[in-house]
Amino acid sequence: MNDFCFWLQSQFEKYNIENQVSDGKWEKWRDFDKQLSIFDRVGDQGTDFLKTDYLRLLKRVGELGGIAVNARSDPQNINIIFKSRELDDLGALCKTRSGLKLEFSTRDKVQKHGVKTVKIQQYLQEKCNEGFGIKVQSNGWTEIKELNTETCHIAKRVIELWAGISMYEEDMSYKLEHFELLKRYGGTPNKRHEDSEQKQAYESLVDAYSITGKWAEALQKEIFPAGYIKIRRSPVNQGNYFADYNWAKIYPKQSSPEQLAITLGISSDNLFLKIDTVNTGGDLRQRYETIRGEYQSSEIVNLLAIEDGLAMSFDELVAWSINHFPKLYEQYIDASKQLGLIEPKDELMSTSTLNQILYGPPGTGKTYHSIEAAVKAAEPSFTFESRKELKVEYERLVAENRIRFVTFHQSYGYEEFVEGLRAKTNDNDQVSYSVEAGVFKSICEDAHQKKDDKFVLIIDEINRGNISKIFGELITLIEPSKRKGRDEELDVTLPQSKELFSVPNNLHIIGTMNTADRSLAMMDTALRRRFDFVEMMPNTALFNGINVNGIDLERMLATMNKRIEVLYDREHTLGHAFFMPVKALVDKDDQAAAFKELQSVFKNKIIPLLEEYFFEDWNKIRLVLGDNQKDESLRFITEETQSYGDIFGLDHGLDSYETENTTYALAPFDGDNSVWNAPKAYIGIYPKESAKLTSVGEAR
């Protein structure tokens, strides 16, 4: 018995599997769940032939009736025999001296199994003729000498024909045949009722549409549980022609514009996940195509090559798609705005949205707008004319405990949020422990008691907390479909109080998230798929026509943010809220105070934030402030270059390719001659291309 046989025997004994392993003997594996755990490790023993596709193929066959292993004395010959229930051996996956091969035998089976065997023979002969490296031998054995994605699909099809089942009930994978049929029949008139070959192609493409539908359903459920999908399930279009692609469309919310969707599917060339218009033409379609740009290189179109898509399992395809969704959703919101399909205010919480997160860079008004969203959720009919009226209503709702506010941080936990033990000392200095409700449990209890009222919990900086640690087992219960009173309502028993707990359907949760702290793509997946996300980016249009001593605030902020986006990313741009106090003073026609406030904003907000973003890389900060385009006397950051000889003397002995050092210094804010007092230094952030600004003297 060889080393592999000894190892296999030890594994059978370890898992108590009925077996008989010896030279030249076949071993039937009885318990497939245990078999697979062993089978998964065969590669560790040096055989290295159980790749993912083959393992999935064998797993499915094992579920149908079992697998037999022949571990012969020759360590280079290991055969895996497929066995179907009440049927003879179908074939083998073999490792031989010449490599890997997949064998199917229809020998002596025609009389016993008739038409089924003939179909397999015809199918294999057809694939042999198509040049897939298949050899059909006269003795009934068929060899596939090259094992790759395409030939693995051929193997799956043989198992389908033999066992009378669909291999794709489990993994819902696309087949190469689907793409070939789209290419062959796309644009062809539908004559399937009189053409049997077309009818067969139609049925196969219906299967492909079913997979696309499952793909869309999995993504919608995972990412946008409050949204919905639309799918056309017929391979034939309204003109009665075969289409060369199939599709499903995902809408993030019930209120999403019907003219724009996140679309996925397959074409004759690839698999795709993209943002696309729906049933539109004319000016709207033209504007969309301008936003999209060249299809193959567009940022709102994600393409997956056919061979890569076929190599993925269904779960892997879903995972690939989920990784693209955070950015794609941001682009969906941007495109909707640019096409005029939504207004920024339309994104704020509607009364039908239970879980929502306002996210964006620092200073974009997330906490500011959370107050408005909370009031709208608690009192949908409330209207207001001024911010003061809104604040009065907000404070009333807070006083009634219908709106509560909490901030997440790194040390915040389940005990503060849900419930925890609290130590108490009585008059005799004896310590006792009691279970006390946290803010989330308290507001849920109140909402249960007052079912006619709406309650709101605002969670500021939601991304800074450890979501698993804070929510624990309750993360599932906040889903709209799992709330009390819904069809799929769930209850859990709390670990400390042992009370039965559920989340009421009249509780809204509003979170805020600073993308400079953590990207949306890095958000906890469990949290991300249970919330709707509202992007809040810098709104420079608020400063249209606002000038401070000749400084155009709109152009200045837009220019700095464009540079930050290039040097870093859009999640670290500067928010408009930093400059709102400046605007307020301009509105009061107090230019002197407004300019003073602008200086303060740069000193206390903008410069510290840029230092944090760029880790004190002062050259990049210079580029953001446009200092490289100004006269030296108008620069906020001074630059000094010295040779090593000037710094250390001639005989410094430093072995370096560099011979000089550049240092940067921030210009002082104090003093009458400070560059921060010069309006043209700020204007220089967005200079005209024709000329540089000159000196501080001219600036004044």
Last residue of a domain, one of 511, 535, 559: 535
Q: How far apart are CA 551 and CA 680, in angstroms?
A: 8
Q: What pLDDT score was predicted for residue 75?
A: 42
- 37 in any annotated domain: no
The CATH number that applies at residue 407 is: 3.40.50.300
Q: Tell me the pLDDT band of 93, cut-offs 50, 70 and 90.
A: low
Amino acid letter, residue 85: R
Q: What pLDDT score was predicted for residue 129?
A: 65
Q: What pLDDT score was predicted for residue 78?
A: 44
| Greater model confidence, 176 or 523 | 176
pLDDT in tens, 244-253: 999 999 988 7
- 129 in any annotated domain: no
**Co-location of 402 and 524 in the same domain:** yes
**Co-location of 413 and 429 in the same domain:** yes
Q: Looking at 2-11, 135-144, 627-636, which range is the least confident one?
A: 2-11
Q: What pLDDT score was predicted for residue 466?
A: 85
Q: Residue 568 class from Cβ within 10 Å (0-12 exposed, 13-18 middle, 19+ buried)?
A: middle
Last residue of a domain, one of 167, 195, 223: 167
Backbone φ and ψ for 11, nearest 5 degrees, come out as: -70, -40
**Co-location of 436 and 545 in the same domain:** no
Task: Answer whether 12's CB lies under 8 Å from 19's CB.
Answer: yes
Q: What pLDDT score was predicted for residue 116?
A: 52
Q: How far apart are CA 644 and CA 260, in angstroms?
A: 60
Q: How far apart are CA 554 and CA 576, in angstroms?
A: 9
**Co-location of 212 and 251 in the same domain:** yes
Q: What pLDDT score was predicted for residue 156?
A: 62
Residue 104 scores a pLDDT above 70: no
**Co-location of 499 and 480 in the same domain:** yes
Q: What pLDDT score was predicted for residue 24?
A: 36
Q: How far apart are CA 16 and CA 22, in angstroms?
A: 17
Q: How far apart are CA 211 and CA 205, in angstroms?
A: 10
Q: How far apart are CA 274 and CA 295, in angstroms?
A: 10
Query: What percent of the chain shows pLDDT beyond 70?
Result: 68
- 516 in any annotated domain: yes
Q: What pLDDT score was predicted for residue 568?
A: 87
pLDDT in tens, 400-449: 999 999 999 888 999 999 998 877 887 777 788 888 899 999 999 999 99
- 123 in any annotated domain: no
**Co-location of 527 and 657 in the same domain:** no
**And the tokens for 399?**
């006083």
Q: Tell me the pLDDT band of 120, cut-offs 50, 70 and 90.
A: low
**Co-location of 195 and 335 in the same domain:** yes
Q: Please tell me the pTM assigned to this model.
A: 0.51
- Identify which of 376-380, 482-486, 557-561 has the greatest average pLDDT: 557-561
SS3 track for 204-257:
HHHHHHHHHHHHHHHHHHHHCCCCEEEECCCCECCCCEECCEEEEEEECCCCCC
Q: What pLDDT score was predicted for residue 509?
A: 95
Task: Answer whether 135's CB lies under 8 Å from 109's CB.
Answer: no
Q: Tell me the pLDDT band of 700, cut-offs 50, 70 and 90.
A: very low
- 130 in any annotated domain: no
Q: Looking at 25-34, 283-292, 365-374, 638-647, which range is the least confident one?
A: 25-34
Query: What Rg value do the Cα atoms of the chain yield, rounded?
Result: 34
Q: Tell me the pLDDT band of 69, cut-offs 50, 70 and 90.
A: very low
Q: Tell me the pLDDT band of 55, cut-offs 50, 70 and 90.
A: very low
Mean pLDDT of 60-87: 45
**Co-location of 612 and 667 in the same domain:** yes
Q: Tell me the pLDDT band of 28, cut-offs 50, 70 and 90.
A: very low
pLDDT in tens, 196-252: 888 888 888 888 888 898 898 888 877 777 678 888 767 888 788 999 999 999 988
Last residue of a domain, one of 277, 310, 345: 345
- 99 in any annotated domain: no
Query: What percent of the chain shows pLDDT beyond 90?
Result: 24
Q: How far apart are CA 348 and CA 356, in angstroms?
A: 9
Half-sphere exposure of 20 (CA within 13 A, CB side): 4
Q: How far apart are CA 318 and CA 285, in angstroms?
A: 29
**And the tokens for 105?**
């035998």
How far is Cα of residue 246 from the mean position of the Cα atoms in its chain? 23
Q: How far apart are CA 259 and CA 253, in angstroms?
A: 13
Mean pLDDT of 500-511: 93
User: Which residues face 247 on adjacent strands?
Assistant: 265
Q: What pLDDT score was predicted for residue 9?
A: 53
Average pLDDT over all residues of the chain: 76
**Co-location of 413 and 556 in the same domain:** no
- 241 in any annotated domain: yes
Q: How far apart are CA 39 and CA 66, in angstroms?
A: 13
| Greater model confidence, 185 or 87 | 185
Domain assignment of residue 50, given as a range: 43-88+148-167
Residue 314 scores a pLDDT above 80: yes
| Greater model confidence, 164 or 172 | 172
**Co-location of 514 and 368 in the same domain:** yes
Show Cβ contacts of residue 412 under 8 Å, excluding neighbours closer than 6 positions.
465, 466, 470
**How many angstroms separate the Cα of 425 from the Cα of each of 191, 416, 432, 439, 579?**
86, 20, 6, 23, 51
Q: How many domains does the chain have?
A: 4
Residue 671 scores a pLDDT above 70: yes
Q: Tell me the pLDDT band of 274, cut-offs 50, 70 and 90.
A: very high
User: Which residues face 79 on adjacent strands?
Assistant: 70, 94
Instruction: Please choose, from the candidates 519, 581, 517, 518, the residue with its C-alpha nearest in 3D space to the C-alpha of residue 548.
Output: 581
pLDDT in tens, 285-310: 888 999 899 998 898 999 999 988 88
Going by their DSSP bridges, the two strands 660-666 and 67-71 should be labelled as unpaired
Mean pLDDT of 106-130: 58
Q: Tell me the pLDDT band of 74, cut-offs 50, 70 and 90.
A: very low
How far is Cα of residue 643 from the mean position of the Cα atoms in its chain? 49
Q: Looking at 75-89, 331-345, 472-486, which range is the least confident one?
A: 75-89
**DSSP tag of 522:** G
Residue 266 scores a pLDDT above 90: yes
**Co-location of 320 and 365 in the same domain:** no
Residue 677 scores a pLDDT above 80: yes
Q: Tell me the pLDDT band of 697, cut-offs 50, 70 and 90.
A: very low
- Which helix (DSSP H) or strand (DSSP E) does residue 2 occupy? none
The total number of residues written for the chain in this structure? 700
Q: What pLDDT score was predicted for residue 193?
A: 84
| Greater model confidence, 55 or 491 | 491
Residue 562 scores a pLDDT above 80: yes
Q: How far apart are CA 605 and CA 316, in angstroms?
A: 44
**Co-location of 519 and 559 in the same domain:** no
pLDDT in tens, 622-669: 999 998 888 888 889 887 777 766 667 666 666 555 566 677 788 888
- 202 in any annotated domain: yes
Q: What pLDDT score was predicted for residue 449?
A: 92
